[in-house]
């Protein structure tokens, strides 16, 4: 570890202290004697790979899991008897905001407040909307953002919805909240370091400000996120869990992303680099797109050669994902033409695309990537199952063999074809989705944010798979918001803004910094403006 454990000599007020917390599931230790403390008024990041015990720890705090005997818990210096029920956690001032927020989108903000507070009325009494609205408005204001409590939640931006969820959670503790747990609050938001330079505050910045004002009021915040640059921006201290044990707790200021990665995976993970020795010579054209338009995409033209990885950069809503869907036949184009291997390729549906050797690894893997309640084996062979139909039936032995091969080849864990896809970790789900497509040996592979919500270890593996598919001779379209990795892997980057292709840049000649400028301003900008853009992006410059 580069950072030394923070001294507790001046013993700041603790919002929460846990000692010797273990949790055993049928002989398997998910948490093993974890000590953890949270100061009042600090943001304490909880780090670890998928399966390291973060969510078990949080669920123990929430009262959802009963910890093993022997654990001790103090809230604001007062010992709390264990175990307790989820409702009691709230009473004691422990409140939680989960990734899915738990809001009802077609109700107003005030109504969303009211449902968790039982309408502030006796069962048959009249609901006092005025007081509920006033209270909701007050809570939201204290987070530093104006949100109309009468507005419908579904119409708010995702960041604003997160604020509503935070305000509601804080308000739900009747005796005052002491600990706020935020579980992956930014997973669905566009990336912070790209947005911060815009005229208006970015979604993530909005959320960060709210967290800072919560902390300023003396509440301790436990913050769980895979996005390490957020931790560097926001957290005061961090605790790292690995295999259910606490590895260390350290102060965050002064640390780098590389330091965090090292402590999380327990070894140095070098930046994923691409071995270009296997690159094929360019000039073997595969895909030619001319004047392609869709709902958002306008008049986009470009070409990809075999063995080439072409990046697509753009903000959320720039049309980057739609471009992938248009090429895959998942959405009908309104104009333009697509040529694959010199032949027209305007697929009416994804089936046509699959038959012609096109694969799309979609952004939302739980909804679109795989079938959650089907087994890993069936998911892996879904696009290719027709090839296993011989002599009047699916040859199950061959299917199983193929699934096992893919599991081994793509390092899917656990290596059990009969496991349900939905219970795998995010990284392994993504490996299944990638494996199911690369297993069909496609000619054109479209990756849409392939490493989103994937832990550090699996991230590197998935980038290697992107690279491998190109080495095998496929053309690859990599839609991503990780610009530095994109520049490492791609030969060219297409920049999209408002549905249009604004630049087609060879990667040798640009830096992540320049790419950021293209994405946000549509081109190179004056040095003053560029510096403003680069300010929240120190780590990009360092690379």
Partner 1 sequence: MTLESTAAAAVPTLPPGRQRRMVRLHGGRSEPVAIFLARIALPLILVLLVVTFSVLEPETFFTVANLKTILNLQSVLGILALGLIMPLIIGEMDLSVAANLGLGMILVTGLTSQQGLGLVPAIALAVLGCTVVGLVNGLMVTRLQINSLIATLGMSTIVTGVVSAYTNGGVFYADIPAGLLKIGQSRVGGIPLPIVYALIIALVVWYVLSSTPLGRYLYAIGGSRDAARLSGVPVKGLTLLAFAGAGLLAGIGGVVQAGILGSGSPTVGPPFLLPVFAAVFLGATAIEPGVFNVWGTIIAVVTLQVGVTGLALVGAPFWIEPVFTGVALIIAVSSARFLRGEAL
Residues that bind partner 1 (CB under 8 A): 25-28, 30, 50-51, 53, 55-56, 59, 64-65, 244, 328, 330, 349-351, 353-355, 360, 362, 367-374, 378, 382-383, 385-386, 388-389, 392-394, 413-416, 420, 422-423, 425, 436
Q: Toward partner 1, which CB reaches closer, 30 or 501?
A: 30
- Minimal distance in Å, beta carbon 485 to partner 1? 24
- Environment class of residue 343 by beta-carbon count within 10 Å: exposed (0-12), middle (13-18) or buried (19+)? exposed
* Residue nearer to partner 1 on the CB measure, 51 or 307: 51
For the bound state, the minimum distance from the C-beta of residue 353 to partner 1, rounded and expressed in Å, comes to 7
Q: Which is nearer to partner 1, 36 or 520 (CB)?
A: 36
14-25, strands of its sheet edge to edge: 28-39, 14-25, 72-75, 78-80
Q: Name the residue nearer to partner 1 (CB basis): 31 or 210.
A: 31
* Nearer of residues 290 and 413 to partner 1, judged by Cβ: 413
For the CB of residue 224, give the shortest distance to partner 1 in the complex, in Å: 14
Long-range contacts of 262-271 (CB under 8 A, 24+ apart): 262/2, 263/1, 263/47, 264/47, 264/48, 264/49, 264/240, 264/456, 265/49, 265/456, 265/457, 266/242, 269/456, 269/457, 269/460, 271/484, 271/485, 271/488, 271/543
| Residue 23 Cβ vs partner 1, minimum distance, rounded to whole Å | 9
For partner 1, the closer CB: 328 or 489: 328
Q: What distances in angstroms separate CA 6 from CA 9, 19, 261, 543, one per listed residue?
A: 9, 17, 19, 28
Task: Considering the complex, state which of residue 212 and residue 404 has its C-beta at the smaller distance from partner 1.
Answer: 404
Place of tokens 């009262």: 63
- Radius of gyration (C-alpha) of the chain in whole angstroms: 25
Which of 543, 343, 337, 302 shows the shortest CA–CA distance to 446? 302
> What is the distance between the alpha carbons of residues 59 and 101, in angstroms, rounded to a whole number?
15
Nearer to partner 1, 313 or 360 (CB): 360
Of 258, 291, 251, 286, residue with least CA distance to 356: 286
**CB 392, min distance to partner 1, A:** 7
Distance CA 220, CA 177 (A): 9
Q: How far is the CB of 154 from partner 1 (least distance, A)?
A: 20
C-beta of 442: minimal distance to partner 1 in Å? 11
Q: For residues 410 and 423, give the distance between their C-alpha atoms in angstroms, rounded to a whole number.
A: 18
Distance between CA 223 and CA 45 in Å, rounded? 5
Q: How many Å from the N-terminal Cα to the C-terminal Cα in the chain?
A: 21
Q: Which is nearer to partner 1, 33 or 285 (CB)?
A: 33
Query: Minimum distance between the CB of residue 244 and partner 1, rounded to whole angstroms?
Result: 8
Measure the CA–CA gap between 215 and 94, rounded to whole angstroms.
14
- The first and second tokens of residue 467, run together, are 């690279």
Distance, in Å, from the CA atom of 311 to the CA atom of 317, rounded to the nearest integer, reads: 16
Contact 239, 174 (CB under 8 A): no
Give me 46's structure tokens: 């909880």
Q: How far is the CB of 31 from partner 1 (least distance, A)?
A: 9
216 versus 371: smaller Cβ distance to partner 1: 371
Q: How far is the CB of 328 from partner 1 (least distance, A)?
A: 7
> What are the distances in angstroms from CA 491 to CA 276, 327, 475?
10, 20, 11
Paired residues of 240 in beta bridges: 47, 248
Closest approach of partner 1 to the CB of residue 241, in Å:
11
Query: Toward partner 1, which CB reaches closer, 24 or 91?
Result: 24
| φ and ψ at residue 160, rounded to 5 degrees | -65, -40
Q: Residue 151 or 350: which CB sits closer to partner 1?
A: 350
Q: Which helix (H) or strand (E) holds 353?
A: helix 350-355
Place of tokens 């965090």: 260
Q: Which is nearer to partner 1, 347 or 463 (CB)?
A: 347
CB of 89 to partner 1, least distance (A): 16
Helices marked H in 62-189 — which ranges?
A: 86-91, 109-116, 129-141, 158-172
Least Å distance between CB 436 and partner 1?
7
Q: What is the helix (H) or strand (E) element at residue 448, kind and residue range?
A: strand 444-448
């Amino acid at each position: 570890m580069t950072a030394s454990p923070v001294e507790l000599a001046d013993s700041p007020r603790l919002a929460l202290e846990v000692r010797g917390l273990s949790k055993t599931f049928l002989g398997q230790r998910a948490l093993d004697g974890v000590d953890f403390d949270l100061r009042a008024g600090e943001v304490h990041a909880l780090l670890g790979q998928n399966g390291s015990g973060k969510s078990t720890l949080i669920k123990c705090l929430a009262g959802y899991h009963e910890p093993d005997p022997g654990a001790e818990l103090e809230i604001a210096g007062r010992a709390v008897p264990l175990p307790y029920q989820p409702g009691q956690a709230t009473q004691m001032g422990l409140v939680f905001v989960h990734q899915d927020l738990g809001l009802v989108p077609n109700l107003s903000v005030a109504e969303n407040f009211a449902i968790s507070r039982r309408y502030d009325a006796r069962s048959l009494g009249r609901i006092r909307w005025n007081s509920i609205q006033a209270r909701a408005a007050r809570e939201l204001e204290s987070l530093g953002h104006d949100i109309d409590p009468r507005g419908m939640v579904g119409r708010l931006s995702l960041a604003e919805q997160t604020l509503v969820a935070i305000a509601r959670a804080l308000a739900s503790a009747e005796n005052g909240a002491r600990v706020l747990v935020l579980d992956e609050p930014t997973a669905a938001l566009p990336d912070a370091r790209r947005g911060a330079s815009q005229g208006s505050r970015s979604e993530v910045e909005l959320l960060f400000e709210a967290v800072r004002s919560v902390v300023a009021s003396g509440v301790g915040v436990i913050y769980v996120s895979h996005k390490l640059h957020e931790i560097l921006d926001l957290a005061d201290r961090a605790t790292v869990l690995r295999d259910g044990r606490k590895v260390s707790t350290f102060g965050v200021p002064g640390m780098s992303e590389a330091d965090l990665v090292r402590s999380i995976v327990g070894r140095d993970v070098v930046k994923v680099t691409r071995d270009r020795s296997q690159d094929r010579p360019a000039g073997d054209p595969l895909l030619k797109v001319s004047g392609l338009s869709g709902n958002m995409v306008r008049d986009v033209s470009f070409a990809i050669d075999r063995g080439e990885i072409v990046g697509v950069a753009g903000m959320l809503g720039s049309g980057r994902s739609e471009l992938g869907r248009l090429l895959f036949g998942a959405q009908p184009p309104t104009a333009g033409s697509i040529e694959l291997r010199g032949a027209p390729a305007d697929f009416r549906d994804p089936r046509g695309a699959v038959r012609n050797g096109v694969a799309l690894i979609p952004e939302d893997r739980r909804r679109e990537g795989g079938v959650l309640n089907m087994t890993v084996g069936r998911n892996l062979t879904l696009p290719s199952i027709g090839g296993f139909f011989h002599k009047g039936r699916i040859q199950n032995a061959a299917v199983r063999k193929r699934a096992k091969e893919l599991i081994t080849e793509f390092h899917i864990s656990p290596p059990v074809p009969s496991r349900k896809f939905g219970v795998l970790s995010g990284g392994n789900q993504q490996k299944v989705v990638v494996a199911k497509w690369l297993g069909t040996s496609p000619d054109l592979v479209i990756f849409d944010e392939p490493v989103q919500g994937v832990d550090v270890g699996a991230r590197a593996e998935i980038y290697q798979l992107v690279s491998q598919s190109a080495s095998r001779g496929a053309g690859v379209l990599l839609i991503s918001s990780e610009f530095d990795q994109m520049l490492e892997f791609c030969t060219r980057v297409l920049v999209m803004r408002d549905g249009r292709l604004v630049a087609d840049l060879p990667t040798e000649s640009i830096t992540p910094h320049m790419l950021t400028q293209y994405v946000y301003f549509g081109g190179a900008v004056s040095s003053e403006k560029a510096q403003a853009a680069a300010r929240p992006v120190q780590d990009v410059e360092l690379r």
